[in-house]
Chains A and B, each alone.
Chain A
Amino acid sequence: MPKFPTEEWASEYVEKLNSNPAYKDAGKNWEGDITFVIKSDDSFDKDAFLYLDLHHGECRGSKFTVDSSEIPQSEFKYIGKYTNWIRLINKEIDPIQGILTGKFKLEGSMMKIMKFTKAAKEMVSTASTVNTE
């Protein structure tokens, strides 16, 4: 059972995302990469990054690292503290409400991402299906 956030978790997540027909459908018109930024807090001692290259309902590539210099520049960044990420994965926080309440920050065009809220929600739903320790 992988821990969040680790390389093992990231690869299982990408696998599940690519086999989720609901995400494939919701993200069919999406083009753009996104980095999940997991900020350290009392429960997690270093920042971590998961880069996802998303294209037409498919994740074409990914990279997990704890070194920010290794992360490619992405169109979007979704940033939150570790504890809030855990709550998001457990579906205790809605990804859009997370932004509106300041628990998460989005860097990138809000107008663009608001047209793909269904895809964003499917990405979170997929995360909650990863058997996380």
Chain B
Amino acid sequence: MWFFRSPEIVFGEDALSFLNGLDFRKIVIITDENIKKSGLASMVQRSLPEGSSSLVVSDIPEEPTLADIKKRLNAVSEFAPDLIIGLGGGSSMDAAKAIFAIYERPDLDIYDITPLVKLNLRSKAKLILVPTTSGTGSECTWAAVLSDEDHSRKNELASTEIIADFAILDPALVLRLPPGITRNTAVDAITHAVEARSSQWRNYYSDIFAEKAMELITQNLPIVIKDPENIRAREEVHIGASMAGIAFSNSQVGLAHAMGHSLGAHFRIPHGITVALYLPQVVEFSEPDARESYLSLMNKMPEKFRKGNLADSLRAFFSEIGQPLNVKDCGIDRKEYSGRLESLVALAEESTGCVTNPREASSSELRELFENVM
């Protein structure tokens, strides 16, 4: 027995106008400073139902902690919204999920947000997530990542009750995404697709979403990088990223995420860069147990990148778009990386990605995978 879960999805040009027809009166928008400055928060505000009032909480930091969430709860509770909108990348959307849950249930410990606890949410508000990057897939998943206060660990909160009521995918919101962020977030989505398609928990539903995501992203990302305002290509990458989110949310990610989370906690570099750094290594390692999955994915890539196996095809693709394939190119000092290998392995081993990866790695194999990108 297993499940398929997804929010209701509104997508395509002008998707944001969907908000206008909804029957909500008091709306909180959770976002970050950059999104506010870019005018995207105002764009969402202009799309809200006539006569509604809104509060914009625009100071969500990158990789929010529990304290960051608590600090913003009072303002949200005092405003008493009937709708919470998470607008931004993974940090803002994950913060919105956590704030939504704790606003509904102030009696909850944030770490009660696990599949074991019935949360009984949605008595006060609904949740809508609106991504402004094409990568995290958080708008479609039932997990939220919050960092420890010292950022030494990323904690994954998970409950099917924090999945959004609606996800809105409007390409206008990603049209002016800077090239670096476009690439870093899209490679995160590629990693979601690859790991979802080969996960030990993969299923017919997640397979279909992962394959289509791989096709949409790898066929269109090179176009977006050359022509950032190509709205058709932007839209396809945007939809592909959300499909990758649905895929892994219904099957789980693997070792590249386990390793990437560990690297991110140690060096605080963007999540997409960390997971994509390890992906070709992990694919090579897992190949004996995931041949069919990897072949299907490779065949979704543009022909010019296909190099006989998925690992080399990914390397060719990443090289073309400028994605780093070793720690030095990620801006990490090799000596410092080397000095932290033991701790990198230990933290990665705490991730469920280690048991859902198609081939399980021992501590020494995991260490070797970390070493291979030096």
**Residues in chain A within 8 A of chain B (CB atoms):** 22, 25-26, 29, 94, 96-97, 99-101, 103, 105-106, 109-111, 114-118, 120-121
Contacts and interface: CB of A to CB of B under 8 A. Distances in A.
B204 interface: no
Nearest to A116: B350
Nearest to B354: A118
B2 A25 contact: no
Contacts of B346: 29
Interface string B334-374: 00000000000010011010110000101100000000000
A121 B354 CA distance: 10
A121 B1 CA distance: 19
B22 interface: no
Given A25-B362, A101-B1, A118-B355, 20 more contacts: A26-B349, A29-B346, A94-B200, A96-B352, A96-B355, A97-B201, A99-B115, A99-B116, A100-B115, A101-B3, A105-B116, A110-B115, A111-B111, A111-B114, A111-B155, A114-B114, A114-B156, A116-B350, A117-B355, A121-B360
Interface of A is mostly: helix
Contacts, number: 42
Interface of B: 1-3, 111, 114-116, 155-156, 200-201, 346, 349-350, 352, 354-355, 360, 362-363
Contacts of A114: 114, 156, 352
A94 B1 CA distance: 11
B179 to A, nearest CB: 36
A25 B364 CA distance: 10
A106 B116 contact: yes
A115 B114 contact: no
Given A22-B362, A94-B200, A117 B114 contact: no
17 contacts: A22-B362, A25-B362, A96-B355, A97-B201, A100-B115, A101-B1, A101-B3, A109-B111, A111-B114, A116-B350, A117-B352, A117-B354, A117-B355, A118-B349, A120-B355, A121-B355, A121-B360
A99 to B, nearest CB: 7
Contacts of A94: 200-201
A129 to B, nearest CB: 16
Contacts of B363: 25
A119 to B, nearest CB: 9
Contact of B350 (A22, A115, A120): A115
Residue among B155, B346, B352 facing the most chain A CB atoms (10 A cut-off) = B352
Contacts of B156: 114
A97 B201 CA distance: 9
B114 A110 contact: yes
Contacts of A111: 111, 114, 155
B323 to A, nearest CB: 29
A110 B113 CA distance: 10
* Ranked 6 nearest A-B pairs via Cβ: A115-B350, A110-B114, A117-B355, A121-B355, A117-B352, A101-B1
A31 to B, nearest CB: 14
Residue among B111, B114, B116 facing the most chain A CB atoms (10 A cut-off) = B116
Contact of A101 (B2, B116, B355): B2
Nearest to B352: A117
B116 A110 contact: yes
A30 to B, nearest CB: 11
